Amino acid sequence: MIAFRSRNATGLPGRIEALSEAVELATDRLDEHQVAFGRHVIDKANDRLRHGTTHTLVAVLGATGSGKSSVANAVVGNEVATIGLRRPTTSSTLACIWGDDDADELLDWLEVKNRHLVSGSPDRTRKQRGLDGLVLLDVPDHDSVAESHREEMERIAEQADMLLWVTDPEKYADKAMHDYLAGLAGHGAVMAMVFNKADQLDATELQQCRTDLKRLLAEVGLVRTPVVAMSALTGYGVDTLEALLADTVTHQRAMVDRLAADTALAASQLLDELGPALGTTRVPDRIRTTLAAELVDASGTALVSDAVAAGYRRDAAVRTGWPFTRWLRRLRPHPLGRLHLGMGSGGRASLPQPSAIQRARSDNAIRQATAAVAVGMPDPWPDLLRRAGAPDPAVLNDRLDTAISTSVRSATGTRPRWWRAVNGLQLALAAAVVTGAVWLGLLAVGAYLRIPEPPTPDYRGIPVPTGLLIGGIALGLLLAFLSARLARLGAARRARAVRRRAEQAVMDVADELVIGPVQSELDRRERLRRLLVTAKGNR
């Protein structure tokens, strides 16, 4: 006995669900025809599952003159085309139903109006009770010259649970049939070939034809498709065919296997469109780092770090410079004030708008980053990644501006402690200078007015007021010089700190607006692959 064996007995709902999610992810990403086919398979599966597994739809297909209707009659046991049924045209599909269960709802969904109930009729034998639940569909010829006939045949073949192809010694090698079968290579578990008119051949010829037919089936991927030799005229092989159908109906796996095969086919086609698996599914760190460095250079960070260094030196001079000249520094605009940055500045930064060269450099860096990620990917992924990683220029510039200004403010929010100490010392020296100058002035006025000069204290022969004046000036200028040198070192350190923070902030912006969306697209691609692999199953 020839029997079908299900290879997808479990997990069909999960596979359909995986295909459904995959189709949603593939929409606007993969070929619209393949996506539409996947959606069609899902809709068909859901519709078919709603009608349960009570009935098994078996479509009898074949070329003109191959004996399809004769085979159907042989299984039924009577000429159903003329007894108990009036078929209006040859384009109509005939449904022969075994069993007492009502198949009207299922056949209404299938849009088959011509029906013959085998149960209870004279042609129903005890032997055929094992076929209860079988719905045998005799459809128009697949090579009919009438387009409506071919459309009807393809529609029924698409909806049937099992496909029973009928051929004969003259047509078993027909190229049109095998071209059609090639598209059903994954449906071998729900297909069988009936080699009709075996009575026209002797035993040797029949064996040769069967062997040749199996070879042709293997060439189109239907290695396990059974071949039943029979003669509808003499009844040879009818028992074998009935046994095959009975086994299929009893196990009630044809519907599941057919839907599983359709799901696997849709998933396979989408996997082909998806392209090969990637070596990695993460954006490499080198691409991320290179992109951030390019954006840092193109975003005016060098200008800002220079302004931070100049602002630090200016603020240090104001705090630690010679008190009698430091006020001149206050008359100059603050380097960070021009950019609305630094301590005490509020609102949004006013960094210069990027030049055409900077914009081109930024755009080129983003294109190179997405192109590097897309290396080896088939269409449409390079374009999808490019679009995903192409932020709005205005948004990108605004975010970079904000990131840099935040970095500057966070790095310039405190003053070094040594400024306060030096400032106190400078004020003390300034007080000494003023004291010495006033003292000497009073002595000069007294001498001018010929007032007796009071005794003037000295230190190692140097009058104290003179020492206060000259020493205060000398030490004040020396302290200002040393403070300026120290401020240069501090300015360089602060500029480097600002640049590091700005680079990290720019990297965060690049992650959010470029790398993040690209990574999300890669994640969707990998998620789509996993779903399609799940939907494909082990076929």
3-state SS of 216-229 is HHHHCCCCCCCEEE
CA distance 159 to 49: 12
DSSP state of 253: -
Domain ranges of the chain: 1-53+254-274, 55-251, 285-419+491-536
For residues 311 and 498, the answer to whether their CB atoms sit within 8 Å is no
pLDDT tens digits, residue range 130-158? 788 899 999 887 766 677 888 888 888 88
Q: Cα torsion at 284, 286, 289, 294 (round to 10°)?
A: -110
Q: How many CB atoms lie under 10 A from the CB of residue 340? A: 15
The class that CATH gives domain 55-251 is alpha beta
In tens digits, what is the pLDDT along the chain, a chain of 539 residues?
344 444 444 488 899 999 999 999 999 889 899 999 999 999 999 999 888 888 999 999 988 888 888 898 888 887 764 333 444 344 688 999 988 778 889 999 999 988 888 865 554 454 566 788 899 999 887 766 677 888 888 888 889 999 999 999 988 888 888 888 888 888 888 899 999 999 999 999 999 999 999 999 998 888 888 999 999 889 999 999 999 999 988 888 888 889 999 999 999 999 998 888 876 778 888 888 888 888 877 777 777 777 778 878 888 888 888 888 887 877 777 666 666 565 434 444 455 566 677 777 788 888 888 888 888 888 888 888 889 888 888 888 778 777 777 777 666 667 788 888 988 998 999 898 899 889 888 888 877 887 877 888 887 778 888 888 898 899 989 998 998 899 899 888 888 877 888 778 888 888 888 888 999 989 999 999 999 999 998 65
Q: 483 φ, ψ to 5°?
A: -65, -40
Contacts of 25 (CB under 8 A, 6+ apart): 524, 527, 528, 531
The token pair at 309 is 């260094």
Confirm whether pTM is higher than 0.75. Answer: no
188-213 tens-digit pLDDT = 888 999 999 999 999 999 999 999 99
CA dihedral 526, 528, 534, 537 (to 10 degrees): -110
Q: Over the range 277-311, which residues count as b (16 or more CB within 10 Å of their CB) and which as e? A: ebeeeebeeebbeebbebbbbbbbbeebbebbbeb
CA dihedral 57, 58, 64, 70 (to 10 degrees): -110
What number of other Cβ atoms are within 10 A of residue 22's Cβ?
29
